[in-house]
Amino acid sequence: MLRFLTEEQKKQFDREGYIIVQGLFKQEQLNEIEHTFEEISHQFIPGHFEPDLSNESTDPLRRYPRVMHPHRFNEVAKKYMLHQPVLNVLQDLYEEPPLAAQSMFYYKPPGARGQALHQDNFYLKVEPGNCIAAWTAVDEADEENGGLLVVPKTQEHEIVCPDRADSKESFTTHFVKPPKDQKAVPVMLQPGDVLFFNGNLIHGSYRNKTKNRFRRAFICHYANESATHISHYYKPLYRADGTEVELIENTDGGPCGVEFEPLYPH
């Protein structure tokens, strides 16, 4: 029985592999996220956020790389990884309680490369079941500033071994080619909107083509409570109340996308 989504929203997720739920974060919550990651952006946090603070690189992603697993060192990130409105939606999508597995923050500054099309459960290896991403727009996300692209209905396809991406356009190395006659479509989001998508869904993003607009996003991945295995990169997982859950380790998998070496070192 659905408690937070409409029947049509649930049907769209099952049919297309994704849904947008508008306004799950209020402005004051977005302000807190913005402030937290603005402070983090001036730090060097080994294993989580390793920027080139010298500003000598011509690659904007050297100054503003993504923040990996901020919930492991920052209480605000952990709080919003366990944001109750997001967990409510996941409860309806999974039809069981969700477990939080990962948090990330993408600054995506002007000129930054995108991330080639890929599938998330290639990395998380949630079994049985699947991961679901909750991709929260902190800034407006559109085609100009490198918003997300999805290939509808590809949640029905198996996880495939990726090809090598174009390093001029993607900061990560993997690329999954969409099935024949299926194309990636842009997803437009306003600040506070959350895009939920299935772990098999092929998705990615283009370059930020703007001169002055960041495309910041707070992104978390979740597993279904009945899952028994996950890649070791995502352990431990968390229940809604913040208590830890240990799943059996899947020895393959990896972080969400392996990064190329800097395209323009200096």
Half-sphere exposure of 262 (CA within 13 A, CB side): 16
- Does residue 120 belong to any structural domain of this protein? yes
Contact 4, 92 (CB under 8 A): yes
- Does residue 85 belong to any structural domain of this protein? yes
Domain count across the chain: 1
Half-sphere exposure of 208 (CA within 13 A, CB side): 23
Instruction: Report the pLDDT value the prediction gives residue 259, as an integer from 0 to 100.
Output: 55
- Does residue 256 belong to any structural domain of this protein? no
- Does residue 264 belong to any structural domain of this protein? no
Q: Identity (one letter) of the amino acid at 35?
A: H
Task: Return averaged pLDDT per consecutive 10 residues of the chain, 266 residues in all.
Answer: 96 98 98 98 97 89 97 98 98 98 98 97 96 98 98 95 93 94 96 98 97 98 98 96 96 61 38
Whether the CA torsion 262, 186, 120, 98 is positive or negative: it is positive
CATH number (domain holding residue 128) = 2.60.120.620
- Does residue 226 belong to any structural domain of this protein? yes
- Does residue 258 belong to any structural domain of this protein? no
For residue 14, give its domain range.
7-250
Report field, pTM of the whole predicted structure over 0.75 = yes
DSSP 192: T
Instruction: Report the pLDDT value the prediction gives residue 251, as an integer from 0 to 100.
Output: 84
- Does residue 262 belong to any structural domain of this protein? no
Instruction: Report the pLDDT value the prediction gives residue 57, as an integer from 0 to 100.
Output: 84
Instruction: Report the pLDDT value the prediction gives residue 23, as an integer from 0 to 100.
Output: 97
Residue 124, burial from CB neighbour count under 10 angstroms (0-12, 13-18, 19+): buried
